[in-house]
Structure 1
Amino acid sequence: MAGLAPVPAPIGVYANLIAQAPETIVLKEKVLSLTGDSFHIKLANGTPILQVEGKVMSISGRKKVRDMAGNHLFDICKELLHLHTTFVIKDPQDQKVMEVKSKFALFGSKAVATFTSSNGKQEELLMKGNFFDTTADITDEAQGGIVVAQIDRKLLSGKDIFFGQQTYAVKIAPGVDMALIAAMCICLDEKNNESK
């Protein structure tokens, strides 16, 4: 599996989580989590980088994301009363960091994430999935449509079918924020769970 090319300018908010080399992260739902959807996020080599915990009785399906030192980075929440499914990523002070809004797509899925990188640049990343949402490319349209991440949902393991669990492998280009890409992947998973 070849790595993605580095991006011309860094894309992201969390400087300590920007990929320095081509990285693959693995998002794996916890089996039978009593707190709603929860994820372990690790590098492909097994090094943990993020913990995601879901809240059981939250209308917005709020998920709290922490780094491995236990620092609260952001929450992922579904915003209600939108024509298209919309998720927001909010910092611990409840300020919006990123918005992920689904768009109409005849086949597959499509969503746009908007945020301001730490260098002050307005970013817009397009996530397009295939018909069954088993794969998706995340591209930076402002930088010529370059692929900054690729999502591959591994399907049909016996445990995943039995427990309704999903595992995602996400290739990330050097210079891209792994935490924000993981958040986009979780939004895709939440949207897929809704449509079931």
Structure 2
Amino acid sequence: MGIMYLIRERFFAIGDDFDVLDENGTKVYRVDGKAFSVRDKLVIEDPDGNEVATVHRHLVALRPTYEIRIGGEEAAEVRKKLFTPFRDKFTIDVPGHDDLTMKGDLLDHEYVIELDGDEVAAVSKRWLTVRDTYAVQLKSGVDPLLILCSVLALDLAMEREAEKHDKKQRDDEN
């Protein structure tokens, strides 16, 4: 596979800024996590601090839905597929016909992203010895920013689901 990026796991729980690194440890993007806790929006910046993309949660959607904007333009919506028993699946709905699917063990960062059944990216913690970090490996020809934003949106959706589950368990106990 082509390029690899490294993302620190559980960034959303901390709510602070963090860097997305390439496989050489060079900062490629900076993610502003503080904005998400305030405005349900992640801001992705280049190393010079220029905003290059955003991930924004739709508040009035029936299922988890996140809008990705790259360069100010809507690039995709990441949505949970309905009726996928025993396995979570998310769709990366891009304008036109090239929708992508995220499937596998989404919660544990062991999944692939496919376009028409062909794997275009893989996400894994197993490749790394660095704690609390996972890798996103892309085939060449894939928009890395779209994939990275989609992975971040999925993280946010999974964290929200875990929080809802924990809250329900606490409510059931009381």
TM over 0.5: yes
TM-score range with shorter-chain normalisation?
A: 0.7 to 0.9
Identify which of structures 1 and 2 has the higher relative contact order when contacts are C-alpha pairs closer than 8 Å and 6+ apart.
1
Deviation at 1:188, TM superposition (A): 1.4
Deviation at 1:168, TM superposition (A): 1.8
Alignment partner, residue 11 of structure 1: none
Alignment partner, residue 168 of structure 2: none
Instruction: Give 5+ residue unaligned stretches, structure 2.
Output: 163-174
| Cα distance in 2 for residues equivalent to 1:67 and 1:181 | 15
Deviation at 1:85, TM superposition (A): 0.4
Q: Is the partner of 1:129 in helix, strand or coil?
A: strand
Deviation at 1:37, TM superposition (A): 5.0
| Cα distance in 1 for residues equivalent to 2:5 and 2:105 | 20
Alignment partner, residue 70 of structure 1: 49
Q: Is the 8 A contact 1:30 1:38 kept in 2?
A: no
- Does residue 184 of structure 1 match 2:150? yes
C-alpha distance after superposition, 1:128-165 (max 9, x if no partner): 12274331110001xxx1100001146xx9x96xxxxx
Q: Is the 8 A contact 2:107 2:158 kept in 1?
A: no
- Does residue 47 of structure 1 match 2:13? no
Give the AA of the match of 2:23.
A
2:86 pairs with 86, 98, 107, which one? 107
The count of corresponding residues between Structure 1 and Structure 2 is 159
CA RMSD of aligned residues (A): 2.8
| Cα distance in 2 for residues equivalent to 1:57 and 1:71 | 20
C-alpha distance after superposition, 1:25-74 (max 9, x if no partner): 1011587987x253311111112111110216425x21101111222112
C-alpha distance after superposition, 1:100-135 (max 9, x if no partner): 11113212321111224xxxx642010012274331
After the TM superposition, which residues 15-164 of structure 1 pair with which residues of structure 2 at under 5 Å, given as runs? 22-29=2-9, 36-54=15-33, 55=35, 57-59=37-39, 61-91=40-70, 93=72, 95-104=73-82, 105-116=84-95, 122-130=97-105, 132-141=107-116, 145-153=117-125
Deviation at 1:91, TM superposition (A): 4.3
Deviation at 1:92, TM superposition (A): 5.7
C-alpha distance after superposition, 1:76-99 (max 9, x if no partner): 111012111000012464x42211
Q: Is the partner of 2:99 in helix, strand or coil?
A: strand
Which 4+ runs in 1 deviate beyond 4 A?
29-34
Alignment partner, residue 135 of structure 2: 169
| Cα distance in 2 for residues equivalent to 1:102 and 1:74 | 21
